[in-house]
Amino acid sequence: MRKFFSLLVGLGIGAAIGALLATFFSPVSSDEFQENLQSRYQRALEAGRKASARRRAELEEELGELRS
């Protein structure tokens, strides 16, 4: 369990350092960088919602078939 916790801490620290480096060395202004980041987040969120809705519809259809 201790090794797993150490791995998670290491991954978290690495991700934070990577995010800071990406922010500092980005070729765009901070406002544009933030807008790009928010735009990508919104697209990913929307894609996740669409995938979830499709999967739910598939499962509901499968459940309907099993009930009949």
The pLDDT tens digits of the residues spanning 16-45 come to 999 889 888 888 887 898 899 899 999 999
Query: Each residue of 46-61: pLDDT tens digit?
Result: 999 999 999 999 999 9
pLDDT score at 8:
94
Q: From the centroid of its chain, how far is CA 39?
A: 13
Which helix (H) or strand (E) segment holds residue 66: the answer is helix 30-67
Q: What is the pTM of this model?
A: 0.57
- What are the φ and ψ backbone dihedral angles of 34, each rounded to 5 degrees? -65, -40
pLDDT score at 27:
86
pLDDT score at 33:
83
